[in-house]
Structure 1
Amino acid sequence: MKVKVEIDCTPEEARTFFGLPDVQPLQAKILAEMERRILAEMDCFSPEALLRSWMSLAPQGAEQVQDAFTRMFQQGFGGGTKPSR
């Protein structure tokens, strides 16, 4: 025997029928706080800020770039001399 029951009601009506609490006000407060925090941190993730942080990791100046390449090639080829500074 099969029994099929269809109930046509809104989520609010179902929540009330089953005695569940209405969490919409709490959800609205949490979402507003999340939005505030995301917007406050948005400047940290701007392309300019990311580029500045990445560029700070790169060697500054032609001498540093040359020294970095020299060290890289010496380590890769097993060279015994160290670059002078």
Structure 2
Amino acid sequence: MNFKIDVEMTPDELRKVLGLPDVAAFQQQMMDKIQENMAAGAEGYDPLTLFKPYMTNSLGSMDALQKMMLNMMSGYTNNTNKTD
């Protein structure tokens, strides 16, 4: 038996339904502080240094992204070829 339920709501409404806090003001304060430090030339606040961890150790790495996609595709084709 399958059920399908379509729910239309905004991201803000979904956040409230899930009981998640509204962190928009906090995020804006953090971004303002980072921009302030970048404009002042504070050490460690240049764009390359800020984004380096995301580009080398996560899915930002093209090699990691390619491997993940290959694993997903091979897992999908292995599951669809099985007979019950």
Q: TM-score range by the shorter chain?
A: 0.3 to 0.5
Q: Tell me which of the two structures has the higher relative contact order, counting C-alpha pairs closer than 8 angstroms and 6 or more residues apart.
A: 1
TM-score (norm 1): 0.45
